[in-house]
Structures are given as C-alpha cells and as structure tokens.
Amino acid sequence: MSVTVRFAPSPTGFLHIGGARTALFNWLFARHHQLYGDGGTFRLRIEDTDRLRSTPEATKAILDGLKWLGLDWDDEIVHQFERAARHAEVARQLLAAGNAYYCYCTPAELEAMRERARAEKRSVRYDGTWRDRDPSEARPGIDPVIRLRAPQEGATMIHDLVQGEVTVENAQLDDLIILRADGTPTYNLSVVVDDHDMGITHVIRGDDHLNNAFRQTQIYRALDWSVPQFAHLPLIHDDAGAKMSKRRGTVAVDAFRDMGYLPEALRNYLMRLGWSHGDDEIIALDDAIRWFDIKDVNRGAARFDQAKLDSVNAHYIREADDARLLDLIAERLSAELARPLSAAERERLLKAMPGLKPRAKTIVELAEKARFYVSARPIRPAPDAAKLLTGEARQLLGGLGERLAETEWEAAPLEQKLRDFAAANGVKLGAVAQPLRAALTGTTASPGIFEVMEVLGRDEALGRIADAAAEPGAD
C-alpha cells in the first residue's frame, strides 16, 4: 500500500538530535516506499498548540535543521494550531454520538479526587464522576470539559512495528479530556484528527509516546477511523547510559553543525543508532533508502558515541569536494580574521586541501589546521614551536633562505635543496626541517613541509623564513 508518514515537532526549542533521528527514519521509510513500493510521502506538521512556548524562531530552527540534513518534505507544512476549530468539531462529534460526555468537576473536586486516590494507594486518575450523570445536575456557572467515554473493560492492544505486541488493561486508562473548558483541544485529540486528515498510515516516533498510543487508539476506534500502524523508536542515551537532555551536553542539530560536522556524516551516524545493515558503518544514502525498513529497528536504546561520530565525520571530510570544504572553512576563517579572504588566499587553501583534509575530524579542526596558510606575517609561533627557533636554528634558516631563492618552487626540488643544505652544514635534516616548519606554520605539526612550501608559494615562504631568521633566538 502507499505509505504516508509525518514528523511532528513542537516548536518550543531547537531540533533535538533524537527528533532528527525520528525525522530521518520517517524520511527513509517514505523514500523507500516511494522508490521500491507503491508510493511514499513524508509530511511535516508543526505542533504549535502550546502558544506560550511555541516561537517562530524555534520553527525556523527546526526547518533549517531538516533542510541542512537534506530531509525534504512533501506537500505543505501543517500548523496544528490553525486546525483547532476542526479538532473541536470532532470532539463535539464524539459527544453527539455518545462516545464523549461533559464533565463539570471543579479544580477543587479533581484535587480532592486525587488526594483520595493517593490516600487509598490507588492510581491517580479521573473516577468517572460525570460519566453517566445528566448535565442538568451541574451547578450553574461551571464551564465543562469534554471527556472521551473510554472502554472500561478488556484491554487495548497495539501491534507495534518496533516494540512488538503491547497491551494495556483499559481499567488503567481513565476518561481523558479531549476538549478543555475554554474550547481548546488537547494533545491526543489533535494528533488523532491531524493524522487522520493527513492520511497518515504509519506513526513513527519516540517510545516516550507509547502511552499516548493507547489513548489515541481509543479515540480512533470511538470515531470508527482506521488506526495507523505504530512504530515507537527507542530513545538515544548518552555515553553514561542516561537519556540525552539539555543538561547533559550537546543535543541540538545546529550545535553539531557549529561544531563542524557535515550533514551527511551526522545523517549516516544517526541512521546507525538503532538500525543497521550488516556491519556497515558507512552507508551511502541511496543504499540506505533501498535497505531501510522500520521493522529492522532495534528495541533497545541506542547509545550516542562521540568518538564514532568523529570517525564517520572524518571519513566524509576525506571524501568531500575540496571546493565545498574551502567554502566551509573560509567562512570560519573570515570570521576569525575579521576580514574576507582574498582570491589568492582562497586559491592557496584550495591547493592545500588534499593535504589538510586527511588530518581533520571536523570542519572546525580543518579550519584550525588551515589557518596558518592565511595568517598575516610575521607568524607568531605557538610556545612549543617557538622553542625550536633557537639562535642556531635561526642562523640556519637565514642561510637556507638564500639557498632557496633560485630553486624551482615545487615539492621535489625543494626537498632535495633542503637535504643538500643540511648535509653541507653537517646537521641532520630534522635540525633544519623542524625549525622551518615552525617558521612557516607556527606549529610543530602540519602537512608535509615541502607541500606546505609549494602551497605558500615562493614569496610568502621566503618572507616567513626571513621573518624567523631576523628574530632573536630562543636560547
């Protein structure tokens, strides 16, 4: 059958990493059925009924995060708040059919009901006071809520595509409110009506919604609507085994972007949190779409491993187009330098990229390792590099600069010239190469020094060597 799924975030904050994985699994499921089944549609609904906490900024952050991850949606975005009148209409439809009723309990009466339940060590839930009473018995001036007339006997069963068969006794579920006294719908009613009207066939979401699924199933059945297939995904835990939350480190998609992760790397890593294809760690998107089935998702919680994400990201950096990486680091370097990069600097970075990208796990790290290529003279070496620039080393650099002035400026002849210079001065190659690295890069670690010299170009490299040779020694 044709599949329609949805991602339905609440715009009360950033796009959580767990929400991003939920969106990804929905997207993969839809795209798989689109290409290899009878049709698949991935829809987006913004559940913005919490007017106090929902913000346009949060909605934008969610949309930007999905776009950055490459998760495009079909059809127009549905905003739940705009459909409140439709939700209320369905609540009254249930009321007219006898599947819901008015409840006139006051807040004080409800609190007393809860206190009695606690005192008697019973579960705290509504006791059905108004389930079979006539509204004419209500005291005047009380605005009633509408409650679902839920089944009291038997059980509600869900055939979950991830969790398996899950059952709850109906005696454990009370008559939930579906329309508040002010006429606004509650979450469970709104979700059911929206999913029905949007033609959702599969509800794929976190297993923290599993309890809602029982209540929503009862609403579907009271309306005589088809119940979608549920698939409740296990939550993502951090490296300590706790639920990932704002208080326990990075959980926002935009934070991972700022930390220098590529969207394809984060997407690849997220799809492997709870789903796999053999032992494959790196999975091309086309393959993931072909292989993905929600039934293959594990029941157990997935554990987020930062080191593994770094490894996946390093792979995608190595495979990325050099010009694309240049644009990503140029943005960061320009911000650090408080000026745009020149055309010559961009050309230099592009030429250096093949030697830089195997050394970086993130875009931030790549930018840091590339920074020396666009640093202004004179280069200020890091403390460990400065120690290499002794008086003797600077003297050698002064002589080396003179010898290099007429050398063909490519890595191979530069290396030969350096080796000849070291031999002529009776020192090992490292005695020249290490101070040379400090002079050119300001660091003790970089791509091959002859590659660095070629990328910097004759004038810039000789200028940096002369600057270092002219400074007092570190002795």
CB atoms within 10 A of CB 129: 14
Q: Which two tokens stand for residue 344?
A: 């010559």
The helix/strand/coil state of 245 is coil
d(CA 346, CA 327): 9
Which residues lie below 8 Å from residue 371, measured CB to CB, with a gap of 6+?
333, 336
Q: With both helix axes pointing from N to C terminus, report the angle between 84-96 and 187-197 in degrees, rounded to the nearest 10.
A: 100
Phi then psi for 203, rounded to 5 degrees?
A: -105, 105
d(CA 447, CA 25): 39
Q: Is 308 considered catalytic here?
A: no
- Using CA atoms, how far residue 235 sits from 301, 363, 450, in Å, is 5, 28, 49
Classify burial at 57, counting beta carbons within 10 Å of its beta carbon; exposed 0-12, middle 13-18, buried 19 or more.
exposed
Which residues lie below 8 Å from residue 24, measured CB to CB, with a gap of 6+?
69, 71, 267, 270, 271
Nearest-5° angle of CA 195, CA 199, CA 201?
Answer: 85
Residue 254: name the closest of 62, 70, 57, 71 by CA: 62
With beta carbons less than 8 A apart as the criterion, state whether 291 and 285 touch: no
Q: Which two tokens stand for residue 37?
A: 């089944």
Residue 181: name the closest of 138, 240, 224 by CA: 138
Tell me whether strands 164-169 and 155-160 are parallel, antiparallel or unpaired.
antiparallel
Tell me whether strands 177-179 and 78-79 are parallel, antiparallel or unpaired.
unpaired
Of 67, 243, 246, 428, which is the active-site residue? 246
Per the listing, tokens 């640093």 go with 375
Please give the positions annotated as active site.
246
